[in-house]
A and B are shown apart, each in its own frame.
Chain A
Amino acid sequence: MKKIRVAVIGGGGTGAALAHDLVLRGFQCTLLERGELTSGTTGRHHGQLHCGARYAVGDARIATECMAENITLRKIAPEAIEFNGGLFLALSAEDEEYCAPFLSACEAAGIPAELLTSRRALMIEPELNPSLRFAVWIPDGTMDAWRLPLHFFATARHNGADIRSFSEVVGISIESGRASGVVVRDIRENQHYTLSADYIVNAAGVWAKEVSTLAGVDLPLRPSPGTMAAVQGRLSERVISRLRPPGDGDTVVPQRTLSIIGTTGGVSKTPEEREIPESDVDFLLSEADALIPAFSGARLHAVWSASRPLAAGGNEENDRLISRDFLCIDHEKDNGIGGFVSIVGGKATVLRAMAERVVDLICEKSGTHIPCSTKEVKLLSHRSFYA
């Protein structure tokens, strides 16, 4: 039987997980990425493997999903994760008041949380702000933002996926109300070609709106650029967050021998990057000092920014009020364009679940009855992508 052909647009974390899931379920997959793999938002995030605690109060669905995926990713890609846990620090009376709703929301989302006295917290993390009142331990971790997706790409390629970088999708062909293929600009060979497909998945992240426009449809997406700063020295073993509703500059993620403070918020109209405001760096360093006083004194290593692709249709000006949940959009149902699906929003932690949702939809539409197995299949090493 001829395989059903799926073209995936975008080589970020979602595209990586999509390619893996698609070939496991018997589809023929071609993935198109205009630059190097993970050269958009995916590669640049600070690497927090969420357990969902950050979103537990107020965004329960993504919190529950994060916890489930946290466990799954540790099982299928243990070598891509520094799993050392995380601490939420209570530094003020307000933080203390937030603790009760935080703990009950964690419980509701299935996130194990444990109170630590300040003394205990300082014993395991000596660089923490000594005036902390107490801390809550939760199962956060750090992922390698390049190597985790590469685990998926390596396994997908091994199973037959065709992964094409430096290949930009510049057009989507529509025939009698159905997407039938993509026009690709091969940047390396400097030529255009058309790739026919039975289904097209738009996983272009912060550029998903631009891609959907190629098919003449609009998407609910708000780019939310955020600045991050890394200093040299591993100032904590665990991810350190502030015990309060999610805000700017309230999480320190350690990674290798670096400590990263992230991120600033805000929304933007375009996915294009902007110049990083000097004030962002000062702000981040001073916020980091509230958690780990030695932070701003450490040598500044790098400052960079990435745009979160938030799923939101309105004119929300406060990005923190936009859910971190993801949306799988069936353009046949919404816009009358068959064979075209978009996936927007979400967090790097839930990349596998995002792919599962999309491939489930394609299975349903194509009458393919193969269940998802990506929760169980152990991924190949990132090194296998090249070897």
Chain B
Amino acid sequence: MKASFEIFRYRPGEKKRFDTFQIELSSHATVLDALKLIQETVDPSLIYRHSCHHGSCGTCSCIINGVERLACLTKVTELSEAVVRVEPLRRMPRIGDIAVDPSPLFLEIDPRWSYLRQSETSRLSAVKAVSVQSHDPNADHVTARHISLERVRFESCIECGSCVSACPVGEDFMGPAVLALLNRERIKRPEQAPILLKRAGGNTGVSRCERALNCSRVCPTGVNPARHIMDLRRALGRNTT
């Protein structure tokens, strides 16, 4: 299948522009596959970020036809427009072409905030395990070693920057990703809640949110930052009354 791409080109000190590419792709191809093909066969100077190719690392987030998406999970055939327009994320310093420096995302994240969380499936498994047990009166006790350990998984937020780019609030805002991670930390470590809430209640915190909800709309992993911001706002309300 033939596909047309308009790709944002940028180098420090140069005028930005869009370059057009016509390439032949398979029907399964993602936008990331297309970028790779263009870079390998047409223009080796094309710069873009990528790593995992399955939506876990968050490096390939960019603006595809006006919407923040992960290039690795966006199939070209799923896009309705005739030309696929690829641009770098907003609100991040540009490295070159599609690649941005995601540093602004991390400046307000306390390095002590844990990236691990309890796995929800643990609870699901426990429910199912009980039902297995109840069907079998002779079921022996499961050794503590294998189930008593809390099952963990990584936080859902892959720190891709999509929400930050899509948020209409500009400067002086911690941003949706940081507030979502802050709220997750508050849930995981209640003893830290007062300090965390104080941060969220500061000048650059939740009060700056304009409730556009773009963050939750573009989040590729369903973090729903807007809901976390709402949670924080509610908790702050309780604290002040």
Inside 8 A of A44's CB, which chain B residues have their CB? 51-54
Contact in complex: A188, B47 (CB < 8 Å): yes
Compute how far the CA of A139 lies from the CA of B49 in the bound complex, rounded to whole angstroms.
33
In this complex, how many residues of chain A approach chain B with their Cβ under 8 Å: the count is 62
Inside 8 A of B53's CB, which chain A residues have their CB? 43-44, 302, 304, 306
**A187 in complex: contacting residue of B47, B103, B136, B149, CB < 8 Å:** B47
Contact in complex: B47, A166 (CB < 8 Å): yes
Compute how far the CA of A187 lies from the CA of B54 in the bound complex, rounded to whole angstroms.
26
B132 beta carbon closer than 8 Å to chain A: yes
B57 beta carbon closer than 8 Å to chain A: yes
Compute how far the CA of A116 lies from the CA of B120 in the bound complex, rounded to whole angstroms.
23
Contact in complex: B142, A82 (CB < 8 Å): no
Compute how far the CA of A384 lies from the CA of B151 in the bound complex, rounded to whole angstroms.
26
Q: Contact string, A69-94, partner B, CB cutoff 8 A, digits 1/0? A: 00000000011101111000000000
- Tally inter-chain residue pairs, CB-CB below 8 A: 171
A380 beta carbon closer than 8 Å to chain B: yes
Q: Which residues 162-197 of A have a CB within 8 angstroms of B?
A: 166, 187-190
Inside 8 A of A47's CB, which chain B residues have their CB? 56
Inside 8 A of A276's CB, which chain B residues have their CB? 28
Inside 8 A of A189's CB, which chain B residues have their CB? 11-12
Inside 8 A of B151's CB, which chain A residues have their CB? 84, 237
Inside 8 A of A82's CB, which chain B residues have their CB? 116, 119, 152-154
Inside 8 A of A119's CB, which chain B residues have their CB? 132, 136, 139-140
Q: Contact string, A129-140, partner B, CB cutoff 8 A, digits 1/0? A: 000000001000
A356 CB, min distance to chain B CBs, angstroms: 24
B162 beta carbon closer than 8 Å to chain A: no
Inside 8 A of B12's CB, which chain A residues have their CB? 188-189
B106 beta carbon closer than 8 Å to chain A: yes
B91 CB, min distance to chain A CBs, angstroms: 14
Contact in complex: A237, B125 (CB < 8 Å): yes
Contact in complex: A255, B56 (CB < 8 Å): yes
A147 beta carbon closer than 8 Å to chain B: yes
B122 beta carbon closer than 8 Å to chain A: yes
Q: Contact string, B146-179, partner A, CB cutoff 8 A, digits 1/0? A: 1101011110100100000000000000000000
Please give me the residue from chain B that is nearest to A190 by CB atom: B45
Contact in complex: A146, B56 (CB < 8 Å): yes
Contact in complex: B154, A137 (CB < 8 Å): no
Q: Contact string, B46-72, partner A, CB cutoff 8 A, digits 1/0? A: 011111111111110000000000001
Compute how far the CA of A307 lies from the CA of B131 in the bound complex, rounded to whole angstroms.
43
Contact in complex: A187, B59 (CB < 8 Å): no
Contact in complex: A387, B107 (CB < 8 Å): yes
Contact in complex: A256, B52 (CB < 8 Å): no
A294 CB, min distance to chain B CBs, angstroms: 12
Compute how far the CA of A301 lies from the CA of B121 in the bound complex, rounded to whole angstroms.
19
A-B contact pairs, 7 of them (CB 8 A): A43-B57, A116-B146, A123-B133, A126-B128, A236-B121, A257-B221, A260-B54
* Residues on A facing B (Cβ under 8 Å): 35-39, 42-44, 47, 78-80, 82-85, 114, 116-117, 119-120, 122-126, 137, 144-147, 166, 187-190, 228, 230, 234, 236-237, 254-258, 260, 273, 275-276, 301-304, 306, 380-384, 386-387
* Residues on B facing A (Cβ under 8 Å): 11-12, 26, 28, 36, 44-45, 47-59, 72-73, 95-96, 99, 101-103, 105-107, 109, 111, 114-116, 119-122, 124-125, 128-129, 132-133, 136, 139-140, 142-143, 145-147, 149, 151-154, 156, 159, 221
